[in-house]
Amino acid sequence: MFWAIGIYCLDFIPKGYVMTTPNRLVLASVKDVPLDDVIAVHVAGHDLALYNVDGTFYASRDLCNHGNARLSDGFLDGDVIECPLHGGCFNVVSGEPCAAPVTHAMVTYSVAVVDDQVVLTAPEELEFENVE
């Protein structure tokens, strides 16, 4: 049983990133995410958009669910990310759509700041990113 859990956790360790605890993945240093901006992060084989909204961090899948566009290439205005392709908008706090043409919530992930690093606190959420 414990052997199986160990293998499961190792699957989440990305190259170039440090696992801070068995249940956390480092996404970026706080200083690497500009205030009121969004950056792209690749972790454990997944592309995430990491948002800094007035000093609070949020993360989502880095792919608009309307088409093939990276939300990290979009425009962050307050807590709203505008997709660069068709202008659809999502609230980065709730993930809910807030402007057409998007109609479904984006996939979001739980993050926290630990020792000046933004960490993914529930890496298992990456497994369910395709579930909508």
Q: Which is nearer to ligand FES, 97 or 123 (CB)?
A: 97
Q: Which is nearer to ligand FES, 30 or 85 (CB)?
A: 85
What character string, x for contact with ligand FES (CB under 6 A) and - otherwise, covers 85-114?
A: xx-x------------xx------------
C-alpha–C-alpha distance, residues 4 and 22, integer Å: 14
C-alpha–C-alpha distance, residues 59 and 117, integer Å: 13
C-alpha–C-alpha distance, residues 105 and 90, integer Å: 7
C-alpha–C-alpha distance, residues 64 and 34, integer Å: 21
- How many residues form the binding site for ligand FES (CB under 6 A)? 10
CB 38, min distance to ligand FES, A: 14
Contact positions vs ligand FES (CB under 6 A):
64, 66-67, 69, 83, 85-86, 88, 101-102
